[in-house]
Every structure is written in C-alpha cells, then in structure tokens.
Amino acid sequence: MKLLSLTAISVLILSASAAPAQSKTTKAKVAILGGGVAGISAAKNLVANGITDFVIVEARDELGGRAHDIEFAGIRVEKGCNWVQGLGTNPVNQLSKKWGLQVAVNDGTDVVFYDNHGKVNGTKTYNDFNDALDKTYDFALKRVDEADISSRACLNIVGWNPDTPLKQAAEYYAFDWEFAENPDVTSCNYAQVGDASYDGSFGPNSDDDQFVIDQRGFKYIFIQEANQFLKKHDPRLILNTTVKNIKYSDNGVTITAKDGHKIEADYAISTFSLGVLQHNDVTWSPKLPEWKRVGLFGFHMATYLKLFLAWEDQFWDNNQYTVYADPANRGYYKQVTWQNFNAFTPKNDTTNIFFVTVTQDQAYRLEAMSDNDIKKEVTEVVRSMYGSHIKEPTHMYVPRWHSDPLYRGTYSNWPIGELEEHHLNMKAPVGRVWFTGEAMSREYYGYLQGAWIDGGEVGTKVAKCIKNKCPKQPYYPEILLTDEKPKFVKRQEWI
C-alpha cells in the first residue's frame, strides 16, 4: 500500500541535539512556517493524508499565533481573535463545542449611545445604518461584474450620508469595528459580499457571534487539536525559532532561522501573516517574483487594537457595548466601541474591565505612543464621558500588533480595486513554498475560519504533491483590465 510504505520511510532526521544551535540542521519533508491556526490545521491535514515527516517552526514559545491570551487585571483576556463568528457548521464553532470552550452570548444590539451632552437614543440611527449595509450588499451583488468602488461610495449610493456625529458613530460601530478599516478604503464588491458569506454559509440561524471568555484561552481548542498528532516534547515542534531567510526552488526549500538553525525541506508552507510578508521581515532567495509581489502588496493588513483598561469600580452602563459620538473626532477613542467585560463574565467585583477598540490610523498612532502618554490621554477621554471624578485606570495593556515583527497587524481587509486575480497571485506557491493563512482564504478572507479551512486545504494539497501529483494553482503573470471577471463567493440563502 502506498500509504503504508510512505509512512515507513517517513523517518525524521534530526541532527544531534548536543550540536551548537548555530550549526544545527533539521531535515523534513514539509516545513510549516508558523504555529498559528493555519499551521496547526495544515499539520493536521498532512497527518490525515499520511505525511508525518514535518516540522512546525514557530517564533514564540507556544502554538496559537494570533489566538493569544494574556494575563490582565487578574484574569486571562484575548489579545487577538476573540469571537466565534458564524455558528452552525463553522469549523471554529465545531471545535469550540468539541472542546467545551467557554463562550458568552454576544449581542451587538445591547448597546448604549452617548454624545457630548450625555446618553442619546441611537436605536433608529443604528438600525438605519444596518439597513443601508444590507442595501450595499444587494447593490454589490447586482454590479458583480462591474469595476469595484469603495464601500463609502456604495453606502452613499444607497442613501447613507453620515452627516451627524451619531450617524458616524453608528457607522463606526457596525463597519470599522468589523473590518478594522473605514468604508473609504474598503472594497464594496469584495468586502461586502465576502462579509455576508460567512454567516449564510454555515447553515440556518448562523449569523450570530459568540465572545470567548475561556480562561484557558481561545488557543486551547487549536492546541488540543495539535495534541492529537503531536507527542509530548515532540521534536517536530520547533519553538522559539524565528525564520529569517527562505531559499526556494522547484526542488526544495532551505529555511534559515535567526539563531542559525537550518531546516531543509522538500516543501514549505508559509503561514506568515500578510503584514509579515509585506514588511520583508523574512527575506527570500531569490526575491519573490513580480507577479507575487503585485498580489501581496495591494491588500491591506488592518489593525484592530483592543486597549485593555480596568478600574476599581464600574462607572459605565451595564450594556455589553457603549458607543460615544464625538462631535469632532471620528475613530478617536470616544467615537469608537467600548466593551464592558463585566457583561460577558460572571460578575466579579475585583475585575472591572472596560476596554476600547481603535482601528487603522488611531491604532498606529497609539502604538507609537508611550504607555504613560496613552494612560493620560485615555483618562481624560473617560473623564469627558463620565465626569472629572473618574480615577485613573488600575490596569492598562496596549497590544502592539502593527509594530510587532511577528504579526504586523491583526487581520486582512480587502481594499478597493484589488481583483480575484490579485488574490490568486497572493496565494499562489513559488517554487516549493505554498502560502496559507486568513488572508489567503478566498471565501473567508480576514476570518479565523479562513485560517483553519485554508490551512487544511493547503496541507492536503502539499500531501498530494508528495504522494503523487501537485494540484495546479493558478496565477497571473500580468493582470490586464480585460481579465476583469470577478467570480464572487455567493451568499447562500436559507429559508
């Protein structure tokens, strides 16, 4: 049997562990670069296809990637991905149920709006914006074969004009808070249709989200999956190893890490984030071909910065969300989404977390500031919302995803003008290096399930390359205007 004989010769060759790190060389059939959700899923599918001779090379000291929880104000909070988005057959939802992940109901309509005079009834404005979003989805589907325009243009065309601070705040809450970028830079054709695909494609009544509060971290379900095929202290898991250079050809791949460790593999699977690929944190020999760079550099790696704050007492509303409409500053801390952690967890008087999410330019601005300056600024903002008696927060944590060379952002967003062909180029293999991750998923671009599903598909494809024949992966040496034939992910309608 082909499968048996392959397994028998899949001997892992490791150099003597006594050798100094600088001269260490590891050989494997497949090198998976990055131990995040896509990497774990790729490994799982290699194993399922009989390929056990692989290594996972991870820069940090644990698996999980952007599923990364941290200690904050006495509890574990999610620095990165935090929601199960789309229930039903969504594989992330399936894993969440399988491993008993603790989640809380997320109710976006449990929101209170403020403006500079105090609490306002924002229900109608918020509903109006959601109606406009539904219309842009229908509009995007109708003009599916036409050239792309921005989500801003689509919103304007269907009649949405955010001419008051409250309307701008409602728009921020329903749009930027999801895409991590504003409608002005976001594609109408691709982002709208792609976003709508996630809930519809997971079966009836799947358009709900859950907020993960599990103290083992969101990563727990992915690590449990990895533990099904990794042994304790498995030498195939190479932690604390940051990839520096990738030398690739049609015959193999040599990976060099910062510490000099070399990994020689028949195939590599890159799970680097789009941001890492765009920042040249990893160098390529030879340089990536132009068609590949055209694919990579046109897309956006967005940043969704959760500024974690905790106070001695809760002074905010009991609603899950608070949205503040600042007359002057769209996207500043006030006109953004505040999240009341107490509304998601069993009441705990010692942990009063009220955190704020900022995106795009505001996130980049914050990341460049010192923690002390951020604390001063955010305390002033909160005082202007709730009164000058409010004390400084007792705890603050500032994730810096955008400046972190291991991530360079939180997740990808489809900007105006990029075509299906650009996306295929971004994803297409070079030599024997394959690419996966949330950004490479066609159907679930930007979503956690995109990383899991695409990672699995690429793992299966690479197994085919080893066992018999590599599946063909299309790419476009040049993308001409006449090639413009977008093929959309169609939302499935359920009755």
Ligand X SMILES: *[C@@H]1O[C@H](CO)[C@@H](O)[C@H](O)[C@H]1NC(C)=O
Binding site for ligand X (CB under 6 A): 61, 74-75, 121, 123-124, 239-240, 346, 348, 350-351
* Residue among 74 and 204 whose Cβ is closer to ligand X: 74
Distance of alpha carbon 66 from alpha carbon 352, whole angstroms? 25
- Closest CB 407 distance from ligand X, rounded Å: 18
Strand partners, 105: 210
Task: Supply the DSSP symbol for 63.
Answer: S
* CA proximity to 459, closest of 225, 199, 285, 297: 225
Distance of alpha carbon 481 from alpha carbon 252, whole angstroms? 35
CB atoms within 10 A of CB 133: 22
- Closest CB 330 distance from ligand X, rounded Å: 23
- Closest CB 473 distance from ligand X, rounded Å: 34
* Residue among 57 and 302 whose Cβ is closer to ligand X: 57
Distance of alpha carbon 270 from alpha carbon 27, whole angstroms? 17
- Closest CB 472 distance from ligand X, rounded Å: 38
* Residue among 121 and 492 whose Cβ is closer to ligand X: 121
Whole-number Cα distances in Å, 414 to 37, 77, 142, 172, 186: 21, 28, 19, 17, 6
Distance of alpha carbon 179 from alpha carbon 416, whole angstroms? 13
- Closest CB 159 distance from ligand X, rounded Å: 18
Token pair, residue 371, equals 């923690």
Binding-site residue ranges for FAD: 58-59, 243
* Residue among 260 and 286 whose Cβ is closer to ligand X: 260
- Closest CB 350 distance from ligand X, rounded Å: 5
- Closest CB 213 distance from ligand X, rounded Å: 12
- Give the relative orientation of helices 189-200 and 123-142 as an angle to the nearest 10 degrees: 110
* Residue among 31 and 191 whose Cβ is closer to ligand X: 31
- Closest CB 401 distance from ligand X, rounded Å: 20
Helix (H, G, I), strand (E, B) or coil at 186: strand
Handedness of CA 228, 229, 234, 238 (dihedral sign): negative
- Closest CB 240 distance from ligand X, rounded Å: 4
* Residue among 75 and 489 whose Cβ is closer to ligand X: 75
* Residue among 299 and 354 whose Cβ is closer to ligand X: 354
* CA proximity to 381, closest of 421, 425, 336: 336
* Residue among 348 and 492 whose Cβ is closer to ligand X: 348
* Residue among 242 and 384 whose Cβ is closer to ligand X: 242
- Would you give the distance in Å from CA 254 to the centre of its chain? 28
CA-only gyration radius of the chain, Å: 23
Burial label, 208 (beta-carbon count in 10 A; 0-12, 13-18, 19+)? middle
Binding-site residue ranges: 58-59, 243
Q: What is the dihedral of CA 35, 445, 283, 364, to 10 degrees?
A: -100
* Full DSSP string of 277-335: HHTTSSEEESPPPHHHHHHHHTSEEE-EEEEEEEESS--S-SSSEEEEE-SS-BTSSTB
Contact 325, 165 (CB under 8 A): yes
* Residue among 350 and 370 whose Cβ is closer to ligand X: 350
Contact 351, 371 (CB under 8 A): no
- Closest CB 237 distance from ligand X, rounded Å: 8
